[in-house]
Structure 1
Amino acid sequence: MDAANDWLLLWGDNLWTWAVLPVVVLLGLYFTIRSGVVQFRLLPEMFRTLTDKTPRTTDGKPQSVSSFQAFTISAASRVGVGNIAGVGTAIAIGGPGAVFWMWLMAFIGGASAFIESSLAQLYKTRDKDGFRGGPAYYMQRGLGARWMGILFAIILIICFPIAFSSLQANTIQATISGSFGDDAVGWLPWVIGISLAVLMALVIFGGVRRIASVTQTLVPAMALLYLLLGLVIVAIHIERLPEVFATIFTQAFGPNEVVGATLGYIILTGVKRGMFSNEAGLGSAPNAGASAAVTHPVKQGLVQTLGVYFDTFLVCSITAFIVLVSVPDLAGAERGISLTQGAIVGALGEWSNVLLSIIIFLLAFSSILGNYYYGESNIEFITPRPGVLLGYRILAVVAVLVGSIVSADLVWNFADGAMGFMALVNLVAIALLSGVAFRLLKDYTQQRREGRDPVFTRDRLPDVRNIEVWEDELSVTGPIDLPVKRRQAEKHRDHLHHAPHQE
């Protein structure tokens, strides 16, 4: 087992160093320049579109989940172990300087997040709950490469609802067990694991709308609770804050003697843990972004960019400040949740263990739900058979149970490697399709300059093929007869499977 763990660690580091990191940085910079720094220039638009009204059906119901609900589904997956255990690991391995590279990559990655979620909206399809889509869909429809979509879907299913959800469950179990200290009993992990599995089953068998209704409540609550906790700890150590900021910036560009990290490893650690947390360019958030009913694909691209900022600049940063103001000496610091947990308990006392357990549960359980939804969307891309979906749901529930009772080291290293491979496949696809996304952005900004609330229909890009929805302005803005539109969509999908691909 140790040999396998060491091999996965070495393989994952090499993949990230020589393949993922250069592609992530170069493409992020390219998207930033070509879009006119869209991730900064249209920041006010991100907040405006977040609260857009959801188009309705003829019977008055929402066409699909709202823009805000899609934001919370993606935030549910983003905000979790990566924000607490992941940031703690980054600081323990790379020192305070790793935080700077997390910030920088979140800004650059915001452009990649915009491109991928705008494309996911453009190439989305209708299902019984409204809409679904994601990288697998734009690989098939935009690139005519169904094989690539299936490859991506398989990697995502292994990576998110299986590996990452196991890690979230393991963190919940470790935190709750740790709050009991020496009084924890051997069967407690089983009780926690079974409880999580049952709770998850109750939600996921209700469909995407139930997932959306749960996450839109959980995500704001857990984020607010965690941010308030962090602000209290920072206020207690407010005199150390200037020193913390100085350390983050000065150690971002040089070796860290305390943790023995070289500049290259500091950068690699910050980028890897940052992408695990905010998922910019990874290809996961577009699965949630595609589910939203909006009037223009760019709107959800902007909302998902805001999700990257919410994750990194708020939640990850508060974890970094909690650790760095509370633990001045990082020599010998434990990795993962232990470092963050120790910092919180050291600042507030033992009672905070209980509060942290509640926060971890809210963070990680909402992530499990977001991860599950990503997998379901990709299962439906591979095959529509109900039996396969049922088998996937059972496997996802079992993964949560198993993750609660086993060691997480091997899964962490395996997930890192899978995440890197998944990012490469997605980044190649969005690079090839980025021209379409830039045209969507141009259409959106032109309509805004005219004083309009942008509405997209597929005749605005007449040369782009294989767009299923966006038929006309009435169907985009509502009301819409979804059963009729779904029958039209099924005919369109049959045509896609039999017609030759055209650019």
Structure 2
Amino acid sequence: MFLSIQDLVAQFSSWVWGIPLLILLIGGGLYLFIYSGLVPFRYIGHAVAILRGKYDKADSPGDLSHYEALSSAIAATVGMGNISGVAIAIATGGPGAIFWMWVSAFVGMATKFFTCSLSVMYRGKDENGNVKGGPMYVITEGLGKRWKPLAVFFASAGLIGTLPAFQANQLTQTLIDVFQVQKENDFVAKLLLGITIAIIVALVIFGGIKRIGSVAGKLVPLMVVVYLITVATILLLRIEQVPGIFSLIFEDAFSGKSVLGGALGVLIITGVKRAAFSNEAGLGTAPMMHGTAKTKEPIREGLVAMLGPAIDTLLVCSLTALAILASGVWKGFQGNGISMTLAAFDAVLPYNSGSVILTICVLIFAFSTLFTYSFYGFSCLSFLTNTKIGKNYNYIYILTIVIASIIKLDFVINLIDSAYALMAIPTVLSTLILAPKVKKEATKYFHKLKTNSFES
């Protein structure tokens, strides 16, 4: 019997996210964590000073300030993966999957430091002389032209991995759930919502990277603060359950069988996959954004980028997980994704206000991601062809939003997960090979910092 495309994609996703990729992502990240000597982690205060603009110079090469680069990268990562992805992790792997998301975030901070430092060290240029960054340029500029097939492999996978399918699908589903659309009107409603979302996104992304950076810089602080206050309220209302939740997460993380029946290996893979979807450490998307930062010091951008997984996974994803687990709705819940998170918020907050507040958060989270991801796909297509052809990616991107709004969630997850796995291979391999270059540059940078002898 012939398998459907949906079945084939599901099988490929399951196969590619096997032990070898797990070793590459977690093992590679752990190696970088240890190899760094934990030096970057000792300079988090300095990273915050960079982020505040203390070292910004208008004449530095690049398009975005350190703050705009991080805001844009976080806008891409702090999105539906933090609200819907966490619920999927709990539904498929149990509470213990959250622990493995945390582990992935810590090693992800080291991975981001190395990958984003490299994205500035080995920047490329397009045919118009504009500065470009990302794993494809790190590979060709850092490893040499003979490695170009690996760069092409990354950019080709990136064309699929950076499509807005998951965000559009879950944003549409949120609105369908909140407004309680009848099943017989489901398709038409999703289609109309998809078209509306596509029009709003088009108004921003056709303005280019500077407009995306400007919009992201305004949205990111707002969305994190609103979400923080909302979840803090939920936890205060269920404060007696919080200690037990942490115990459950730690116990479930190391049990032979998770609370929801998944084997330990599956549990770890689930946590790593959802963390990868959430903070994208090791996948290669963030280096494309950080590679456009206005700086002559690669280590500076690596330090700023390192803050991403801390904000994204350790803070926002943890808040979502605690809210869902505190609500108790995850036990025996039929369904996952955004529907579970909505049910959790409504179960605790009075007068069904949870749906209203979460919908506002989802709108901000999802749109910020939708705005930013278009730049990644544009960068990949521009590398494979040229900037003129690359601009056509935005039309594909807009069309994908409409299509993704009406298709099944499982297919969307498996498709994006598969592309992410393929993107991670060249990203992590090139980073491991070039890691000594970053360490050497870091030694020089921190010496200059101590002696106050740098210029930019």
Q: Check the 8 A contact 2:132/2:291 in 1, yes or no.
A: yes
Q: Check the 8 A contact 1:38/1:111 in 2, yes or no.
A: no
Partners of 2:62 and 2:172 in 1: how far apart?
38
Spell out the pairing of 1:97-136 with structure 2 (5 A cutoff). Answer: 97-125=96-124, 131-136=131-136
Letter in 1 for 2:116: S
Q: Which residue among 350, 353, 360 is the counterpart of 1:351?
A: 353
Q: Counterpart of 1:321? A: 322
Letter in 2 for 1:88: A
**SS in structure 2 at match of 1:381:** helix
Partner deviation per Cα, 1:272-291 (whole Å, 9 max, x = no partner): 11111011111110001101
Q: Counterpart of 1:143? A: 143
Q: Deviation at 1:63?
A: 5.3
**SS in structure 1 at match of 2:281:** coil
Partners of 1:446 and 1:62 in 2: how far apart?
23
Q: Deviation at 1:182?
A: 4.2
Q: Which residue among 375, 378, 402 is the counterpart of 2:377?
A: 375
For the pair shown, the structure with the greater C-alpha radius of gyration is: 1
Q: Counterpart of 1:495? A: none
Q: Check the 8 A contact 2:74/2:312 in 1, yes or no.
A: yes
Q: Counterpart of 1:219? A: 220
TM superposition score normalised by structure 1: 0.85
The structure-2 alpha-carbon separation of the partners of 1:301 and 1:191, relative to structure 1 and needing over 3 Å to count, comes to: same
Partners of 1:124 and 1:51 in 2: how far apart?
24
When structure 1 is superposed on structure 2, of 400-409 and 336-345 the one drifting more is 400-409
Partner deviation per Cα, 1:166-191 (whole Å, 9 max, x = no partner): 11011111101111114584432222
Q: Deviation at 1:372?
A: 0.6
Unmatched 5+ stretches in structure 1 = 456-476, 478-503
**SS in structure 2 at match of 1:231:** helix
Spell out the pairing of 1:3-402 with structure 2 (5 A cutoff). Answer: 3-52=4-53, 53-57=55-59, 64-125=63-124, 131-144=131-144, 145-160=147-162, 162=163, 165-182=164-181, 185-186=185-186, 187-256=188-257, 258-327=259-328, 330-348=331-349, 349-386=351-388, 388-402=389-403
Partner deviation per Cα, 1:31-55 (whole Å, 9 max, x = no partner): 1121111352222222121122432
Q: Deviation at 1:389?
A: 2.5
Partner deviation per Cα, 1:224-264 (whole Å, 9 max, x = no partner): 11111111111110110100111111111103453101211
Partners of 1:172 and 1:155 in 2: how far apart?
24
Calculate the aligned-residue CA RMSD, in Å: 2.0
Letter in 1 for 2:17: W
When structure 1 is superposed on structure 2, of 7-16 and 102-111 the one drifting more is 7-16
Partners of 2:331 and 2:421 in 1: how far apart?
28
Q: Check the 8 A contact 2:82/2:278 in 1, yes or no.
A: yes
Partners of 1:229 and 1:418 in 2: how far apart?
33
When structure 1 is superposed on structure 2, of 91-100 and 34-43 the one drifting more is 34-43
Q: Counterpart of 1:436? A: 437
Partners of 2:399 and 2:182 in 1: how far apart?
27
Partners of 1:331 and 1:2 in 2: how far apart?
30
Q: Deviation at 1:12?
A: 1.8
Partners of 1:100 and 1:156 in 2: how far apart?
28
Letter in 2 for 1:305: M
When structure 1 is superposed on structure 2, of 337-346 and 187-196 the one drifting more is 187-196
Partners of 2:324 and 2:250 in 1: how far apart?
16
The structure-2 alpha-carbon separation of the partners of 1:418 and 1:63, relative to structure 1 and needing over 3 Å to count, comes to: closer
**SS in structure 1 at match of 2:192:** helix
Unmatched 5+ stretches in structure 2 = none
Number of aligned residue pairs: give it.
448
Q: Deviation at 1:368?
A: 1.2
Identity among equivalent positions (%) equals 35
